[in-house]
Amino acid sequence: MTCGENCNCGENGKLENGKLENGKKHTLTNLKKWEYTLYTTLVAFLVFNSITYSTLNTLINGICDSKGCPTNLGFILHLIVFTFLIRMLM
């Protein structure tokens, strides 16, 4: 694997475990960091939205109350889904 356009290290060397051959650390560009931040914000908005809780509550009873507020089970379930979605985006 080699450094590419997403790297902020300034070199196009061979990568091994996130580091270049010369020992410099491989870092993301500022633009790539903003991209990941926006992905995380969008996923959080979709997963932790009260409409999402209410919709899922029709499939699995006990995810939220009648107002759309999550129960402890609902929050933990959505937190697990959020974690997996973020991991899949990386």
Which regions of the chain does DSSP assign to beta strands (E)? 15-16, 19-20
Tell if the pTM clears 0.75, that is, is over it.
Answer: no
Q: Please report, rounded to a whole number, the percentage of residues in the chain having pLDDT higher than 90.
A: 42
Q: Would you call 78 exposed, middle or buried from its count of C-beta atoms within 10 A (0-12, 13-18, 19+)?
A: buried
So what's the pLDDT on residue 17? 59
Structural element, H or E, at residue 6: none
So what's the pLDDT on residue 65? 87
User: Are the beta carbons of 30 and 8 closer than 8 angstroms?
Assistant: yes
**How many other CB atoms are found less than 10 A from the CB of residue 30?**
9
- For the chain, the structural domain boundaries read 48-89
Condensed to tens digits (0 to 9), the pLDDT of residues 14-55 reads 555 556 566 666 677 888 889 999 999 999 999 999 899 999
**How many other CB atoms are found less than 10 A from the CB of residue 70?**
21
